[in-house]
Structure 1
Amino acid sequence: MELGIIGLGKMGANMAERLRLAGHKVVGFDFNKEAVDKLTAAGSVGVSSLEDLVKNLSAPRAVWIMVPAGQPVDDTIAKLEQYMEKGDTFIDGGNTNYKDTQRRHAEAAAKGFEYIDCGTSGGIWGLKEGYSLMIGGDKAPVERLNPIFEALAPSPTEGWGHVGPSGAGHFTKMVHNGIEYGLMQAYAEGFSILKAKDTLGLDLEQISTIWQKGSVVRSWLLDLTADALKKNPTLDGMEAYVPDSGEGRWTVFEAIDLNISAPVITESLIRRLRSRENNNFTDRMISIMRNEFGGHAIKKS
C-alpha cells in the first residue's frame, strides 16, 4: 500500500521507515531538504513539493499530515486539495483539537474527500516499539487503510483501533495525554521527596530500577525515568521549565464542560505553567501575606 507523509521530523521519519520495512511505499515531503534527502537515502521517495507528493501516489490516495496543530493543518489541506481527487483521504496524525477535526471532516466530506483523525502515541520510540493509534472517522476509509495502521502499530492486532466517528481519535489521544500529565507529575513528586530526605542518602537510580520489577507502579514511563536517571542522576544542566503542547489544557476544559472532577490532571497542568514563571509572583504574594498576619520571616533574594 502507498502512503504520503507530510512532516518528516523525528516521528514522521520513523513512521516512514517502519512502513518501508513492512513493504509499503512511502512518499515524503518536508520543507527541510535534509530530512527529505535522508528519507530518500533510506529507500523511500522524498519529494520537494506537495504537488510532487500527490503525483507519486496512486488513487485513491492517502496522505498522513504530521504538522503542528491549528492553522498549519488547515493551510496544508488547502494546498493539497488543489492536487488531490475525490475519494482521496487526509489523515491527521498530529495532536489536534478534536473540534477542529470534526470541522475539517465536514469540510472535506462536502468536497468529496475522506478525513481520518489518528491520535498517535509512541514518540521517538515508535520505530522500534510501534505506535499506539487511536483512530476516528468513517468506517470505509479506515478499513481500506487497515494495512497502514497494522504496520505502524506494535502488532497487527495490538495497540491500535477504530475508536469512533470523526474526532473520536483525537479526543481519545487528548485524554491519553491528560493522564500522561498526571502520571509524570506523580513520579516527579515522588522522586523529589526521596531526594529531599538527605539523612537517608537514597540513590534515585537504584530505587527506580527496583520499582521496575514487581512493583505496582512499574510502567514504561518508569523505565524511561530509570534510563534518564542513569544518564544524569542529579539532573545537572536542566532548567525547571516544562512546556505543554495543548492536550492537557483541552482535557481540563472538557472535564469542566462535562462536570467531571479531574484534580490530578488539572493540578499537573498548573504545575507545568508554574514551572515557567521566573521569580514566581504568586509565591512571593503568599510569603508577604504570611509576614503580615503572622510575622513569618520573608526570605529575600
Structure 2
Amino acid sequence: MRLAMIGLGRMGGNMARRLARAGIEVVGFNRSHEAAEKLAAEEPNATAVPTLEAAVAALDAPRVVWLMLPAGAPTEETLNRLGELLAPGDVVVDGGNANYHDSQRRGALLAEKGIGFADAGTSGGVWGLENGYCMMVGATAETFAAIEPAIRALAPGEDRGWAHVGPVGAGHFTKMVHNGIEYGMMQSLAEGLALLEGKQEFDLDLAEVSEIWRHGSVVRSWLLDLTAEALKEDQKLEAIAPYVADSGEGRWTAMEAIDQGIAAPVMTLALQMRFASQDERGYTNRLLAAMRNAFGGHAIKKSG
C-alpha cells in the first residue's frame, strides 16, 4: 500500500513512521518541509515532497490521502484543494479532531465528485508510535476496505484497538465522546489527588499512593499510569502553571449532550473547570467579592 500523509506534527509524523515501519509506503508533506525531510531520512519507506500537488502526483490511482491537520480552516482549505486534485475512486482520510458535523458535510461534498471520505477518530497521543493508535473510523464499506491495511498497521494490534464504527461522521463523533469521557476522568483523578495532598497531617506520598492504585485497584488506568510517572518526578508541580487548555472536543461533547437532552454533568463540569483555570482576569470572582461586601459588609481582599 502507498499513501500520502499530509501534516507531520506530533501525531501525523509518528503515524507516518508507524505506517512506514509496517511496510506501507508513505509520501510525506508538511508546511514546514524540514519535517518531511526528517521523516524521509529516518524511514526507508518514506519520501518527502514539497507541495500538496506533488504528494497527489506521487500516488498511483486509486489514491489515498491522509490528513493530520488542525481542525477548522487548515483542514477545510486542504480538503477543498484535494477536491480539485483527486479523481473518482480516490479516498481522503481526516484523522484530525474535526467536528463530526463538518465531517458529514465534507464527506457529502467529496461524494458528489466520486471521492471517498473517511473520518478517523484517533487516540494514542505521543505514545502511539510505540503502543499503537486506537482508531474509530466512519466511512462507507467500500471506502473503509481501501484504507483497512493502514488502520490495522496503526492500531495496537491487527485484531484490536480499531473498528469501522459507522457511516461518515461516526468516527469523529465517537472520538468526540471519548474525549469528553477523558476530561471527566482527568478531573476526577486531579481532584482526588488534590484532596490527598491537602491532608497535611498525614504527609501522604502521592507518588506512592498513585503507584499502588495502578495495581489491582478499580481506578487503575493509563491516565493513572501517566499521573504516577509525573508525580515520581515532582509532587509539588510548582513549575507548572495552573492553566488547563481545552482542545474543543469537550465543548462539542457538552453541546451534543444539550442537543440530545442527555444529562452529562461530569463531562460538562470538567470542561467548565478548564475554563475556570483559563480565567486570568478573574472577573467573576471579583464580582462575587463585591456582592458579598455590598450585602454583608464582608471584607474584600485587595489585589496587588
Secondary structure (helix, strand or coil) at the match of 1:145 reads helix
Query: AA paired with 2:192?
Result: G
Give the deviation of 1:71 after TM superposition. Answer: 1.7
Query: AA paired with 2:4?
Result: G
Report the counterpart of residue 34 of structure 2 in structure 1. Answer: 34
**Following superposition of structure 1 onto structure 2, how do residues 83-232 of structure 1 map, counting pairs within 5 Å?**
83-232=85-234
Residue 280, structure 1, aligned to residue 267, structure 2: no
2-structure distance, mates of 1:300, 1:186: 32
1-structure distance, mates of 2:221, 2:298: 42
2-structure distance, mates of 1:71, 1:6: 15
The C-alpha deviation readout for 1:28-87, integer Å capped at 9, x for no partner, is 100112201111101211111111111111111111101111121121012223332211
Query: AA paired with 1:277?
Result: D
The C-alpha deviation readout for 1:130-161, integer Å capped at 9, x for no partner, is 00001001111102221110000000110000
Secondary structure (helix, strand or coil) at the match of 1:158 reads coil
Give the deviation of 1:279 after TM superposition. Answer: 4.3
Q: Which one is further off, 140-149 or 165-174?
A: 140-149
Q: Which one is further off, 29-38 or 169-178?
A: 29-38
1-structure distance, mates of 2:112, 2:8: 29
The C-alpha deviation readout for 1:190-247, integer Å capped at 9, x for no partner, is 1111111111111111111011101111100000111111222211211111111110
Judged with a 3 Å threshold, the aligned counterparts in structure 2 of structure 1 residues 202 and 279 are, in CA distance, closer, same or farther, namely: farther
Residue 7, structure 1, aligned to residue 10, structure 2: no
Residue 24, structure 1, aligned to residue 24, structure 2: yes
Unaligned runs of 5+ in 1: none
The C-alpha deviation readout for 1:276-298, integer Å capped at 9, x for no partner, is 11241222222333334444433
Unaligned runs of 5+ in 2: none
2-structure distance, mates of 1:169, 1:238: 34
Return the TM-score normalized by structure 2.
0.96
Contact map agreement 2:151 2:162 (CA 8 A) in 1? yes
Give every structure 1 segment of 4 or more consecutive aligned residues whose post-TM-superposition deviation is greater than 6 Å.
none
Secondary structure (helix, strand or coil) at the match of 2:89 reads coil
Matched pairs, number: 301
Return the TM-score normalized by structure 1.
0.97
1-structure distance, mates of 2:281, 2:97: 31
Secondary structure (helix, strand or coil) at the match of 1:31 reads coil
Contact map agreement 2:83 2:113 (CA 8 A) in 1? no
Q: Which one is further off, 73-82 or 235-244?
A: 73-82
**Following superposition of structure 1 onto structure 2, how do residues 41-52 of structure 1 map, counting pairs within 5 Å?**
41-42=41-42, 43=44, 44-52=46-54
Query: AA paired with 1:14?
Result: N
2-structure distance, mates of 1:136, 1:104: 12
Secondary structure (helix, strand or coil) at the match of 1:41 reads helix
Secondary structure (helix, strand or coil) at the match of 1:213 reads coil
Query: AA paired with 2:245?
Result: P
1-structure distance, mates of 2:5, 2:121: 15
1-structure distance, mates of 2:214, 2:73: 41
> Percent identical across equivalent pairs?
54
Query: AA paired with 2:276?
Result: R
2-structure distance, mates of 1:204, 1:290: 36
1-structure distance, mates of 2:146, 2:7: 23
The C-alpha deviation readout for 1:173-194, integer Å capped at 9, x for no partner, is 0000000000111111111111
Q: Which one is further off, 199-208 or 286-295?
A: 286-295
2-structure distance, mates of 1:101, 1:280: 36
2-structure distance, mates of 1:234, 1:80: 49
